[in-house]
Amino acid sequence: MTIIFFAPNIVGMMSEVLEKHMNLADIRAIVGHELKNVEALLQAKESDLSLTHEISGHVTRAGGKRLRPIVLLLCAKHLGYQGDHHISMAAAVELVHTATLLHDDVVDNSPLRRGQNTAMQIWGNAASVLVGDYLYSRSFRLLAKCKNLKAISLVADATHALAEGEILQLMHRRDLKLSEEQHITILGHKTGKLFELSAQLGAATMNIDEATEKAFSHYGMSLGIGFQIIDDVLDYQGNTQDIGKRVGDDLADGNLTLPLLYVLQNGNETQRQVISQTMLDGNTDRLDAVQTVLQETKALEYAQQVAQSYIAKALQSLDNIPETRPLLALKDLARFAITRSH
């Protein structure tokens, strides 16, 4: 897995990012028919076990933006793919993503996801973990039907990286010495890897040159890291209704995100103490004090700049690829990642 680090001063290249482009609805419309078919696969009943169907239906019907399937479908459409294996691959990626959310909610003891109670909160930890495993198995069954060995290999590598990312995050929970580079590595293994996988699978539908394949791969990884950093900013700027989870969840879980790391590395002693003590206690009663420190140090602005730098890199990755409407949509999807409010 390739993770690219570079200084946030590249933000100067981002002026065109904030111009008006296709919104998410416009982007979705380009692959609207394919997305409906993906959704049908996600909602398909493939088990006679009622609990399996209840929980998997609960999490898949919760929706989400389906950004990973959209990336995959747009890449395949740009390349001119005419078959239907990209539908199965897109559903497989979303099932892997959903499985990781089920497992994450258990690890983080999260009661809320996408504005509704988590499966863990309703059915308990054991059921959530087991149904997460079931969704992984569904993903590989879909891939097997495509008879594309490269696609299966890509997903196997990605799930390996995802597991390592979860373990890395657990190892560094409440680790006040975590470096920014280590943090970005965790983001790359988790969010970045699934976006990278989506782009790679879109490319795997066709026999393309190595340079284009690498361009899509770098696009996905950079997009995913930028997207996750903005998620972490919204954890302190948004509200529960908009972001679909409790504000300050990462703080309570002991997961150091980029804004918090910035304060620990650049704040004064008092500011660092607010973050470190709150992180060690996992006490969200101090959320107001934490938000004040983030404002004083401009930590959220710094994190936004780093996110913008990764989005700039995602856009640069596509510079040498001939423009098509799907490719323009991929670029606008990257721009959406840093301008969204939830």
pLDDT in tens, 279-334: 888 777 888 899 999 999 999 999 999 999 999 999 999 999 999 999 999 999 99
Taking a C-beta distance cutoff of 8 angstroms, is the pair 132, 138 a contact?
Answer: no
The set of residues, in sequence order, having a beta carbon less than 8 Å from that of 271 and lying 6+ positions away, is 263, 293, 296, 297
8-336 CATH: 1.10.600.10
Q: Spell out, as residue ranges, where the chain has pLDDT lower than 50.
A: 2, 4-18
Phi, psi of 40 (to 5 degrees): -60, -40
Domain boundaries, the chain: 8-336
The single-letter DSSP state of residue 322 is: P
Rounded Cα gap, residues 283 and 280, in angstroms? 8
Percent of the chain with pLDDT over 70: 90
Which residue type sits at 118?
T
- Quote the pLDDT of residue 36: 97
pLDDT in tens, 243-258: 555 667 778 788 899 9
Q: Mean pLDDT for the chain?
A: 89
